A and B are shown apart, each in its own frame.
Chain A
Amino acid sequence: MQLNPWALTGIVLVAVVTPYLGHRSSRSATSTHDFLVARRTVRSRRNAAAISGEYLSAASFLGIAGIVLKDGADALWFPIGFTAGYLALMLFVAAPLRRSGAYTLPDFVEMRLGSKGLRRFSTAFVVFIGILYMAPQLQGAGLTLATVLPVPAWAGAIAVMIVVAFNVIAGGMRAITVIQAFQYWLKLFAISVPAFVLCMVFFAGGGPDGFRPLGAAAPPVFTSDTTVDVQTDVTLQVKTDTFLYAYGRTDNGPAAGPTHWTPLAPHTVSEGTKLKFLAGTPVPVVSDSVADNANWLHPGSGSLTDLLQTYSLMFATFLGTMGLPHVLVRFYTNPDGKAARRTTVHVLLLLGLFYLFPTLLGALSRMYVPELLVTGKTDAAILQLPSAMLPGVGGQILGAVTAAGAFAAFLSSTSGLLVSVAGVVSTDLLPGRVRDFRVATVLVALLPIALAVGLRPEDISLSIGLTFALAASTFSPLLLLGIWWRKLSWPGALAGMFVGGGLVLIALVVNVVSGYTGGWAPWFVNQPALITVPAAFVTTYLVSRVTGYGRPEHVHDIMLRLHAPDPLGFMRDRAVARFGQAEEKTRLPGRGRHRK
């Protein structure tokens, strides 16, 4: 890829301003309490921007446009599910969880069920989810950096992790809140401005080659002579007889000149091959994406498998959001349950606003950067679209803006995850002093780097889907039943997490193996939530029924605390027990429990 100096400038700016903001606002952060929950004084609107900033990860910024480019209207599920997850969170979990006074998911587990063993078990899953969620962020960062700079993909992953870890160590959560809020607005700017400009270009006559219709039954067409360098082995399909020039290896044989592909069978292309298409040639697409535009435009393909897969995805996003550690930890920074509710409303609005744009850009990509369908690198759509539609400096600057926004996305979601996972590790596995938090940060940062560099970069949104499935199969039964059903027992919760989480982890391993050996795995391995979530719920329910001894003694008090209205003052901070002095010190005047 060619060097884009504008994009480099944008990325460097984001990478410098972020730690600067963190540093400026972190001078006052001294105690563990400050680090973890930002003293619970963060205002709800800023908190909402911060939650959204943290939530809008690589999957949202790059992945959605990429999937829209590839799968068309089917991809609407992702943004719909991502917002619907917040609805579930608000209705069922936000306020009671805030009232529980727990900091982290394991804290909640111990508070509700009083079992230390279960607490450690859930800590393990928080760490799993966090690391699984961080790996695709880092891969996205690698992709972005490799698009604008002649560096290998792993360099971006490591660069992002270093910036983030430095920042987390320097400032903790308080700093992160300011940064996340800033990054939400940055991301919104970075995606809306290019979307507006490119839409204007589109309606004004449609970029370098004129207007291109999208509703036609034909596949997208190359509008100028195009050479594609295939960088990883791909299998392509064509809809009509296609003539092209290939240099390298195709269909398991050497190729060096004109060739002819039929729609009868898929065609394999090996790494390092150059494919040259003349203007007017229909675009071959990677074999798992939608080949023609008419099909691309309406959701669903009519097969039962698709229906089940979509339901499975919806299950995962609807219930998984509440189990994401970096989302939950944010709600503890609300002063009370009512503020938690208000925050969620703002979050939903901010998210809905944001998701309009990647969807729009994905649709434009289908028309202007169809060559990404050949290489399968659809996640780069947003990055390459501006220069494809607007050749020259204008396109380069817009490209720089999107690259900087994408970088902000990796930085913010990675730092949110790192803070929450390191927080859990330092309080649960280490003694919980500030220094331990720093040690934990470094330790936790190393694992996702290994995963991101070691594993095949799959479509960013899809691997995020699996992470949501893991969260939905482990923590959502625990949270929902824990808050709404008093007969939940700790053996039941343990069994449910074991079954749900175990099944998803098995699916994950099978998925990786299948990815390396020809992709034979059936749909439920890719998107297991439809099976694993009910399995986890049923297991939790049945085991709780037969293990009445595992219910905590004061279950009535606990339930009252979860559901009692905030002004009652039943909300006691666990922090009083753990970080007593810090809590006293940070209680602001005029914020007593009976003052509202």
Chain B
Amino acid sequence: MTDWESVQESPEFTELRRRLRVFVFPMTALFLLWYLLYVLLADYAHGFMSTKLFGNITVGLVFGLLQFVSTFVITGLYVRYANRRLDPVADEIRARVEAEPGR
């Protein structure tokens, strides 16, 4: 219980928090921007969005489907990031805590 503070102050933990924030917040901003932009285009760039690519398939519909794709891509990136950049640091901290006497 008492080593919680020491863990919290450790550079590894700070680094872990930083890495998480560095990924999560810009990624969310990017996603929201792309999401809001789509709606904006849909409402104000009619000509562009209803450009027909083939048959009844318009740019607008393709962009709509790309919204789904971007959700999946971000999910995939996050999991990869978590496995490669977050978990190793977490393991390091754990190893350090367990090596300490009295626990």
Contacts and interface: CB of A to CB of B under 8 A. Distances in A.
Interface of A: 73, 76-77, 79-80, 83-84, 87-88, 90-92, 214-215, 297-303, 306-307, 310-311, 314, 318, 338, 341-342, 344-345, 348-349, 352, 355, 556-557, 559-560, 563-568, 570, 594
A73 B24 contact: no
Contact of B43 (A76, A306, A560): A306
Contacts of A345: 75-76, 79
Nearest to B28: A91
A298 B50 contact: yes
Given A344-B75, A349-B72, A556 B64 contact: no
Contact of B5 (A73, A92, A344, A556): A556
A557 B9 CA distance: 12
Given A344-B75, A348-B75, A73 B61 contact: yes
B44 A302 contact: yes
Contacts of B5: 556
Contacts, number: 130
Interface string B47-91: 001101000101011001001100110111011001000110111
Ranked nearest first, the 3 interchain pairs of A and B with the lowest CB-CB distance are A565-B90, A300-B42, A300-B43
B93 A565 contact: yes
A87 B60 contact: no
Contacts of B20: 563
Given A91-B27, A565-B93, A302 B46 contact: yes
Contacts of B67: 76, 80, 84
B26 to A, nearest CB: 11
Interface in B22-51: 24, 27-28, 31-32, 35-36, 39-40, 42-44, 46, 49-50
Between B42, B72, B86, the greatest number of chain A beta carbons within 10 A of the residue's beta carbon is seen for: B42
Contacts of B74: 87
A475 B14 CA distance: 27
Contact of B90 (A306, A307, A567): A567
Given A73-B64, A91-B27, A565-B94, A298 B58 contact: yes
Contact of A594 (B32, B90, B98): B98
Given A301-B43, A310-B39, A352-B71, 15 more contacts: A73-B61, A73-B64, A76-B64, A80-B35, A80-B68, A87-B71, A90-B78, A338-B82, A345-B79, A348-B75, A560-B8, A563-B16, A565-B89, A567-B91, A570-B4
A78 to B, nearest CB: 11
Given A297-B58, A307-B39, A568 B24 contact: no
A79 B32 CA distance: 16
A560 B90 contact: no
A550 to B, nearest CB: 22
Contact of A92 (B24, B43, B49, B60): B24
A348 B43 contact: no
Given A92-B24, A352-B68, A299 B56 contact: no
Nearest to B79: A345
Nearest to B17: A563
A568 B10 CA distance: 14
A571 to B, nearest CB: 12
19 contacts: A77-B39, A91-B78, A298-B46, A298-B50, A298-B61, A299-B49, A300-B42, A300-B43, A302-B43, A302-B44, A314-B35, A318-B35, A338-B87, A341-B78, A348-B75, A563-B17, A565-B89, A565-B93, A565-B94
